[in-house]
A and B are shown apart, each in its own frame.
Chain A
Amino acid sequence: MAMWAIGIVVVVVVFLVLAKAVSKPSTGGGSGSNSTDGVASADLIAKVSTGLSADLFNTVGAGSANPLPKPISGAPALTQNGKPEVFYAGAEYCPYCATQRWPMVIALMRFGTFSGLGTTHSSTTDVFPNTQTFSFHGAAYTSQYLNFTGLELQSNQLQGTAYAALDTPTAEQQSLISTYNAAPYVSADSAGAIPFIDFGGKFLISGSTYNPSVLQGKSYDQITSALTDPTSDISKGAIGSANAITAAICTLTGNQPANVCGTDMIKGLQAKLTSG
């Protein structure tokens, strides 16, 4: 009996290791790639979606979000398949991108769902090192209200003196970045900075909209726990920014869905956004 039990355990362990050894590397979703740390667990996904209550969003409001998404005029509407498009360009090594992905994911989760959303961390040698975060590399987003494209242009792994290239923008996406991540749409100082986020050709974000230092040294558990406390700096920053992003997206979706866009808090933020 004992030998059978031990044998079964050994077979299972050997099977897990051998199956991994002979399997082909995955091309998306982070698992198996040399970029993201892995795929976000269902527990983590739940904590940044269903784990955040409507009361929490309303209590935090704009929180410490600053700057808010900047309205732009004169740009053509950014759409895909008849739906407004939210376009994000960042990089896994970038600490400001690491900071901004939290509110991006939280806000986008209110309009749809992710699959293959990765987890990663910012560079261990840059400012705000090793900030725990998500990665859009290999992730897919589904929503009846909008499309989302997230590009991680570089990984957090050095190849020589530069971070390894990851997602390659199409010519159209590169043109979008070159045109709108430059003056006069963003300040000359932040031209070319990442993260760069275009909300349907109506609003832009360049950089992070709250202080990256609030996430410093924090684990996923500590961050997600702090998110639910509206008095915490993390909640004020990430939930506040998520609300500002939600308000921008609601402008694109004709204020749909009503349970997300119909609150006085979101309407108030929309008024703030459009007043510049």
Chain B
Amino acid sequence: MPETPTANVPKWLPLVATVLVLAGIAVATYLTIAHYTTPTVLACPDRGLINCGKVTTSSYSSILGVPLALLGLLFFIGMLPLQLPVVWRMKQPLVIWGRLAFAASGVLMIFWLIYVELYKLNAICLYCTAVHVITLGLFALTAIGTAILTEA
């Protein structure tokens, strides 16, 4: 049984992480709406390498019928409570490691999505890239916070 950590993360970390999650929810909501309505609502070039419609309407835009945009939205909604300052003060190992595992799962998905965009579709969706950056940032903050809590 791991020892219960006693240190606290710096106050800015949960705040920045929460802002990132809210930004992720906003972008993922936009992409989900575009998926269920029309990709033309995406304010994004549709020629050359930058082509949001080409990515969001591709055959890779869903897994088993579930749109990836919706999965992204659910990821951020699930991440929101985990990144709140009050939850960062919780020292239960399940919360600490569960948050890290959840953030890592997002990163693994991002690896796959970047691979699909660059190697399968030859196109980059700006909104998707924003989600990727937010997810990577969340993972970085979560890893730093987890290290502070567990290495204390």
Contacts and interface: CB of A to CB of B under 8 A. Distances in A.
Interface of A: 1-3, 5-6, 9, 12-13, 16-17, 20, 31-33, 37-41, 43-44, 119, 121, 124, 130, 132, 157, 217, 219-221, 225
Which 4 residue pairs are nearest across A and B when measured between Cβ atoms? A2-B147, A44-B59, A38-B121, A2-B143
A31 B118 CA distance: 9
B65 A221 contact: yes
A121 B140 contact: no
A132 B65 contact: no
B19 interface: no
Nearest to B66: A221
A6 B121 contact: no
Contact of A17 (B118, B136, B139, B147): B118
Contacts, number: 83
Main SS of chain B's interface residues?
Answer: helix
B119 interface: yes
Interface of B: 35, 38, 46-47, 53-54, 57-65, 67, 104, 107, 110-111, 114-115, 118-123, 136, 139-140, 143-144, 146-147, 150-151
Contacts of A43: 59, 62-64
B121 A220 contact: no
Given A9-B136, A225-B65, A37 B54 contact: yes
B61 A219 contact: yes
A217 B59 CA distance: 15
Contacts of B65: 221, 225
Given A39-B120, A43-B64, A5 B57 contact: no
